[in-house]
Amino acid sequence: MATPHGYSPISSESRVRILAMLLEGADRTIDDLTSATGLHPNTVREHLQRLMESGFVLAEAEHRTTRGRPRTLYRAATGQRGASSPIIREKARQAAEHGDLMRRVMPETIPEGLSTQELHQLDAITEHLEDSGFDPIVDEAHLTVDLTPCLHASDALSAARCGVHMSLIQSVLAEAGGPLAVEGMHPACNPGDCVIQLLRAPADVAAPTDS
């Protein structure tokens, strides 16, 4: 059952803005994020804490070559080297266990043509999206994930939120381990339509790496 809308760590517009900035690639400090968002430093810290607890953001102390207290640097968890999240990886492992249990109980639900790794990746993104308040419909044959109706189609930050969701799905796929990756979103005349297309990426692109 999907989590009620508003519970997800990225339901907050401020957290979406913070995560979108971190997904640009550069490590950021509290001061960087405060200046960019106009939020109070304590508010930024609270948002970052929520995002870290969910595994979406990682923090580490700055490496300094001079004297002085190192700053804390924040980055988005992408599933790639240096940005791998143990929290997302553990959630993916648990989702795979749940999926395997369901398939043992109902073997007739096992789709044809998918490897165990691919099934586990789909388990992981399904649970991730349900935790984010969606009710995803996964088409294993065509490797699509239908999130229609979009919860955020009329959101003022819908474009940024969409990009954040896509990046997080790719991170979950990477942490789960396997060949599936995000290809993109199907174009739609109705902005409330949201169908994500997956593809089988080369192993060196899809495989997760340790931090």
Judge whether residue 80 has pLDDT over 70.
yes
Please provide the average confidence, as pLDDT, over all residues in the chain: 88
The whole-number average pLDDT for the span 89-117 is: 96
Residue predicted with more confidence, 2 or 88: 88
pLDDT band at 190 (very low <50, low <70, confident <90, very high): confident
Can you give the residue ranges of every domain in the chain? 13-76, 86-206
Answer whether residue 192 shows pLDDT above 80: no
What secondary structure does DSSP assign to the chain, as a single string?
-PPPTT-STT-SHHHHHHHHHHTTSS-B-HHHHHHHH---HHHHHHHHHHHHHTTSEEEEEPP-SSSSPPPEEEEE--SSTT---HHHHHHHHHHHHHHHHHHHH-GGGPPTT--HHHHHHHHHHHHHHHHTT---EEETTTTEEE-PSPTTTT-TTHHHHHHHHHHHHHHHHHHH-SSEEEEEE---SSTT--EEEEEE--HHHHS----
Q: Is the confidence at residue 3, as pLDDT, over 60? A: no
pTM of the entire predicted model: 0.86
Percent of the chain with pLDDT over 90: 66
Q: What is the pLDDT of residue 181?
A: 96
pLDDT of 154 reads 67
Dump pLDDT digits (tens) for 108-140.
989 999 999 999 999 999 999 999 888 999 999
How confident is residue 156, by pLDDT bands cut at 50, 70 and 90? Answer: low
Q: Residue 4's pLDDT band (boundaries 50, 70, 90)?
A: very low
- Mean pLDDT, residues 65-77: 86
pLDDT of residue 152: 72
Rounded to an integer, the average pLDDT of 57-61 is 95
The CATH class for the domain spanning 13-76 reads mainly alpha
Query: Does the structure show a pLDDT above 70 at 5?
Result: no
Q: How confident is the model at residue 209 (pLDDT cuts 50, 70, 90)?
A: very low
pLDDT at 163 over 80: yes
User: Which pLDDT band, with edges at 50, 70 and 90, does 57 fall under?
Assistant: very high
